[in-house]
Chains A and B, each alone.
Chain A
Amino acid sequence: MGRGTTAEMNNRRPALTMTGALSLLLVLMAFGAVMIGPYELSTGQVLAVLAGQGDEQARIVVWNIRLPRIGAALLVGASLAAAGASFQALFRNPLVSPDILGVSAGAGLGAVVGIFLALPVVAIQVSAFVGGMVAVGVVMLVASLVRNTDRTLTLVLIGVVIGALAGAMTSLLKVLADPYDQLPAITFWFLGSLAAITDDDLLPALPLVVIGLLPLALLRWRVNVLSLGDEEASSLGVEAGRTRFFVIAAATLITASVTALAGVVGWVGLVIPHIARMIVGPGFGRLLPASALIGAGYLLIVDTLARTIAQIEVPLGVLTAVIGAPFFVWLLARGRRGWS
């Protein structure tokens, strides 16, 4: 009994310290990122602008260009990593990424339809968001019609099928698209970018992400139990099917919202939860905030690189893959037996 309470304190205090330390680090990194760019700013200049002073040019750079983009990088990174951690726990597989059920393929098709019809940017974003949600909705609907005792495997397989169908339709539209104007836009969308982000893009996505994170945070203990598999979770008193539905819906809402904003940004949702699990362990109550914080920091670094290392913008998806893929191999190589 005495030991039980000791274990409790031992476990919880470092977790809070860790969350606090990561948050502080994130603020410092964001501050640093504001200073970096073609138009360099000193610490004093940034502080002055944040205090409502500073010269006109610095104010425009900070408020209109850098901060929206930094905010987007933090939001997209946190969202993808949180969704990835959720899907990995749900599918009991650490190799799962947030687009396992076809949300990226669906959002891609939605975006391509929007680009093909030459819709305004906002409409393309809405179309991508709807495409992502519809794709996963169709996957869940079809999976519920298939009679198979292994629900998660059924979901994954139907996800592959729906993803392939959406990919096929996307390819068809690419063939039909205007090769000088629309095709490059489609290509860049699938590589992901935060270059064109403004406040107006960011503000609608933010509440959607919060709405998605809320059920994940509330259900955090049940997500742990669900990662033992349906049968055991049920015998422990969890309504497995219903809980899984809410977790998938929430994680999909998050992923679709930020994918509509940034295009397809791969690898974040796959790699970051691994790093978070190495630091705070597999308990979802700690894994979810840790993944979100580390994901935010990671994408901030990558996006700052994307806008500064070359004369032109390097597509985000290229960088996340170039950094993420070898890192993942390193993780696997150092990995002991399990997935810690």
Chain B
Amino acid sequence: MMLTAQGLDIGYGTRRVGRGLSLGVDAGEIVCLLGPNGCGKTTLFRTLLGLIPALGGTVALAGQPIAALRRAEIARRIAYVPQAHAPPFPFEALDVVLMGRTARLGVFGQPGNADRAAAFAAMERLGIADLADRDYSRLSGGQRQLVLIARALAQETPLIVMDEPTASLDFGNQAQVLAQIAAIAGAAGTEERSVILSTHDPDQAFALNARVMLMKDGQFHAEGPADHALTDETLSAVYGLPVAVEKTESGRHVCVPSIAARSSTAGVSGASG
């Protein structure tokens, strides 16, 4: 088990966002966290990363409780891919990727040639080597997201946490980022890398053949392989409107929300919003 969380209560200060959450991530696995806005996905991630303390329960990385680990030790076990953002200063993309090497340097250390090579290799692996000397703050959202994924690869961790990696990306970029996530997860050669990501698109869970954690109001509503956990019933219950899971001719699953029945569900979405 790369990561285990048991009986986790999450939230800020005295405000609990979620209760009694238990999950585990195995080596080489992709776990997809789904749920409506405000259900606690980001808070859960921050707790798993040790950025905010758990209000109850435990998080363990490779068997060690996260609360007992120093930041650098955590950063050598989990990498975090935040949503693409604009930094205040115009760093080169390679420098941003190079920051992924920080946990492997001493407190006063500087990245050396080996670190630069590792950062560049991570960019090459994602097919963005040509962005290396470009100004990160001027890249498109999709390019930035790939640079941040490259940074997580350069961090060389067995587990990567991605917070809505496809949010705010256009159709083509979403597909590209998704393909890269599928490519870097799993047992490729000698490395076994797990990915846990959140998304608003249940289709992606099918596309990635991920294990799904379906979250509602701070609790796991359903979990398991995508075709088990994501059904008409579970999706309809979690998102508060009729959803049908259909199979396309090519065998892919797609989740289709009912738009026609809007009038009958207006009360439901009004109550939950």
Contact = CB atoms under 8 A, between A and B. Distances in A.
Contacts of B49: 234-235
Given A237-B102, A282-B89, A231 B95 contact: no
A89 B117 contact: no
Q: Report the contact-size class of chain A (Cβ under 8 Å from the partner).
A: 35 or more
Contacts of A338: 86, 88-90, 135, 137-138
Contacts, number: 116
Given A238-B102, A338-B135, A221 B91 contact: no
Centre residue among A8, A234, A236, A338 by max chain B CB count within 10 A: A236
Given A231-B82, A237-B103, A239-B70, A4 B119 contact: yes
Centre residue among A89, A147, A235 by max chain B CB count within 10 A: A235
Contacts of A282: 89-91
Interface string A109-153: 000000000000000000000000000000000000001010000
Centre residue among A4, A232, A240 by max chain B CB count within 10 A: A4
B171 to A, nearest CB: 25
A4 B115 CA distance: 10
A339 B70 CA distance: 33
A93 interface: yes
Contacts of A220: 110
Interface string B72-106: 10111011101000111111101100011011010
Contacts of B72: 237-239
Nearest to A239: B71
A4 B93 CA distance: 13
Given A234-B71, A237-B102, A282-B89, A5 B51 contact: no
A182 interface: no
Contacts of B70: 239
Interface stretch (A168-176, A187-195, A222-230): A222-230
A69 interface: no
Nearest to B129: A3
Interface string B132-148: 11010110000000000
Nearest to A4: B120
A147 to B, nearest CB: 7
B155 A219 contact: no
Contacts of A339: 88-90
A275 to B, nearest CB: 14
B121 interface: yes
Interface in A2-42: 3-5, 7-8
A94 interface: yes
A149 B80 CA distance: 19
Contact of A94 (B78, B89, B102, B117): B89
Contacts of A234: 49-51, 71
Nearest to A284: B89
A236 to B, nearest CB: 5
B113 interface: yes
Q: Give the 6 A-B residue pairs with the shortest CB-CB distance, closest first.
A: A237-B103, A237-B75, A282-B89, A235-B80, A4-B120, A237-B72
28 contacts: A1-B121, A3-B120, A4-B113, A4-B117, A89-B89, A92-B88, A94-B89, A149-B52, A221-B109, A221-B110, A227-B87, A227-B89, A231-B51, A234-B49, A235-B49, A235-B51, A235-B74, A235-B80, A236-B102, A236-B155, A237-B75, A237-B76, A238-B71, A240-B71, A337-B138, A338-B90, A339-B88, A340-B90
Interface of A: 1, 3-5, 7-8, 89, 92-94, 147, 149, 218-222, 224-225, 227-228, 231-232, 234-240, 277, 281-283, 285, 337-340
Given A222-B102, A234-B50, 19 more contacts: A1-B120, A3-B132, A5-B113, A7-B120, A8-B116, A147-B13, A221-B109, A235-B51, A236-B75, A236-B80, A236-B102, A237-B72, A277-B89, A281-B91, A281-B92, A283-B91, A338-B137, A339-B89, A340-B89
